[in-house]
Amino acid sequence: MTKRTRMLGRPTLQAVEALGHQVAAARRRRGWTAAELAERLGVSPGTVRKIESGNPTVAVGLMFEAAVLSGVELYGVQPGTLGEVVARTADQLALLPQRVRTQEVEFDDDF
């Protein structure tokens, strides 16, 4: 089975790198070594290095877990208030249609 290479846009790569740098800074402020964060995450120190360098191949859930454990604010809110963000976005989703279908556009080509 061949491995597919996925191309990511510059804003995506920059966002992953920024989050990684925030994790690294927060970890250092807490006085943790990369090995200590790795132990808390249940991963190798090499994976922590990938997270902190902004490697986009790291699972998004693992990136977020590293951020939460390090004390990084996600979405500009404290970790304890993320439930409010989830509730607010769920309310917004409830107002939108559940399915989105392609709308057929009729062209008026009678000249």
The CATH number of residue 20's host domain is 1.10.260.40
The pTM for the full model equals: 0.79
CA dihedral 39, 41, 45, 46 (to 10 degrees): 160
106 pLDDT tier (thresholds 50, 70, 90): confident
Residue with the two structure tokens 């977020």? 64
Instruction: Write out pLDDT tens, residues 23-58.
Output: 999 999 999 999 999 999 999 999 999 999 999 999
Domain residues for the domain of 43 are 10-95
Rounded Cα gap, residues 62 and 41, in angstroms: 8
Rounded Cα gap, residues 34 and 61, in angstroms: 18
Domain presence at residue 100:
no
CB-CB contact of 64 with 26 (8 Å): no
Domain presence at residue 33:
yes
Rounded Cα gap, residues 44 and 14, in angstroms: 24
Rounded Cα gap, residues 65 and 8, in angstroms: 22
H helix or E strand, kind and range, residue 68 = helix 60-70
CB-CB contact of 56 with 8 (8 Å): yes
At residue 92, the pLDDT reads 95
Domain presence at residue 102:
no
Domain presence at residue 101:
no
Tally of structural domains, the chain: 1
Domain presence at residue 108:
no
